[in-house]
């Protein structure tokens, strides 16, 4: 039976960096964001669902989803955010379950990178949950620098998600990313070494 680890975090928490380190160590990681991106491509299941609800104004001149425009519409108010989530959740869950079941057939240990793991109700899918954590001040500063957001835009994005402080209650492992990438890698290396040891016993 496979050991499945869920990885989560928040926007600008450094989760993608941790996932990269895990992949480099040789582990398979199902990337929920990539899966969603593929489903949102022209003709995909999410593409069709989003157009049916929001209309063709969310498309660019090539007929692909205009992601920045879609994001602005979704984050414009809580009603749009809730409707978008409702539209997409069942399709995403179904496709993630397919990917999980496929890997379970051939991997002893693997990871699933799901940003909204807790909010989306995926907690019981996993043998353990790893949370990539930063304090809110660091998170805001990194988000503003990375996405060139104003204070207001950055705060709005954080307010649309469960705080990392609240997510700690669901985590079996908290990876602290308030420091340098070197310090982050050291934590990940220790966790992966312990994981390999546990699975070899």
Q: How far apart are the first and last CA of the chain?
A: 15
> 14: annotated binding-site residue?
yes
Average pLDDT rounded to a whole number, residues 94-103: 96
> 12: annotated binding-site residue?
yes
**pLDDT over threshold 90, residue 75:** no
> 200: annotated binding-site residue?
no
Structure-block tokens of residue 155: 């705060």
**What domains sit in the chain, N to C, each tagged with a CATH number?**
1-28+110-196 (3.40.50.300), 33-106 (no CATH)
Average pLDDT rounded to a whole number, residues 54-58: 91
Q: CB of 46 within 8 A of CB of 40?
A: yes
Average pLDDT rounded to a whole number, residues 100-104: 96
Identify the sign of the CA torsion 116, 119, 123, 125: negative
pLDDT, one tens digit per residue, over 136-186 is: 999 999 999 999 999 999 999 898 889 999 999 999 999 999 999 999 999
> 17: annotated binding-site residue?
yes
* pLDDT band at 1; cut points 50, 70, 90: confident
Strands 3-8 and 128-133: parallel
Structure-block tokens of residue 97: 């379950």
> 16: annotated binding-site residue?
yes
> 41: annotated binding-site residue?
no
Read off the pTM.
0.85
**pLDDT over threshold 90, residue 88:** no
């Amino acid at each position: 039976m496979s050991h499945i680890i869920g990885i989560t975090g928040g926007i600008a928490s450094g989760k993608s960096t941790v996932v990269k380190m895990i992949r480099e160590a040789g582990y398979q990681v199902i990337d929920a964001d990539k899966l969603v991106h593929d489903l949102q491509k022209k003709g995909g299941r999410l593409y069709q669902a989003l157009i049916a609800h929001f209309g063709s104004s969310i498309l660019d001149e090539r007929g692909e989803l205009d992601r920045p425009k879609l994001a602005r519409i979704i984050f414009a108010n809580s009603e749009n955010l809730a409707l978008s989530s409702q539209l997409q959740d069942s399709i995403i869950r179904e496709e993630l379950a397919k990917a999980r079941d496929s890997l379970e057939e051939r991997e002893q240990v693997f990871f699933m990178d799901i940003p909204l793991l807790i909010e989306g109700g995926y907690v019981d899918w996993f043998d353990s949950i790893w949370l990539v954590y930063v304090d809110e001040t660091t998170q805001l500063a990194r988000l503003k620098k990375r996405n060139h957001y104003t204070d207001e835009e950055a705060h709005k994005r954080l307010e649309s998600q469960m705080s990392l402080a609240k997510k700690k209650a669901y985590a079996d492992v908290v990876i602290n990313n308030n420091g340098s990438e070197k310090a982050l890698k050291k934590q990940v290396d220790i966790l992966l070494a312990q994981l390999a040891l546990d699975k070899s016993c």
